[in-house]
């Protein structure tokens, strides 16, 4: 039995979120909201938040909460 868990493969939406944030230079100062991502992917903001939560838990994505908040990539 292995003690280390293997990372789950990304869903197409998760891959798209990461690509969009990278392409648009999302950072702490310029996060992208779930509302904007929902428009881009033609999905509900709740679904985007659900997909993004896995990315946050796996440390592939960061979240800035509150007014003007959203998702951004940690690092270059």
Q: What is the CATH number of the domain that holds 64?
A: 1.10.10.10
Place of tokens 């908040």: 69
Residues lower than pLDDT 70 in the chain: 1-7, 75-76
The pTM of the whole model exceeds 0.75: yes
Query: Domain for residue 2, yes or no?
Result: no
Query: Domain for residue 64, yes or no?
Result: yes
How far does Cα 47 stand from its chain's mean position? Answer: 11
Q: Which domain holds residue 66?
A: 12-72
* C-beta separation of 42 from 33 below 8 A: no
**pLDDT (tens digit per residue) in 46-61:** 999 999 999 999 899 9
């Amino acid at each position: 039995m292995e003690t280390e868990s293997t990372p789950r493969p990304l869903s197409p939406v998760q891959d798209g979120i990461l690509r969009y944030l990278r392409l648009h230079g999302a950072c702490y100062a310029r996060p992208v909201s779930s509302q904007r991502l929902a428009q881009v992917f033609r999905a509900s903001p709740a679904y985007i938040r659900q997909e993004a939560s896995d990315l946050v838990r796996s440390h592939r994505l960061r979240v800035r909460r509150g007014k003007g908040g959203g998702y951004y990539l940690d690092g270059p």
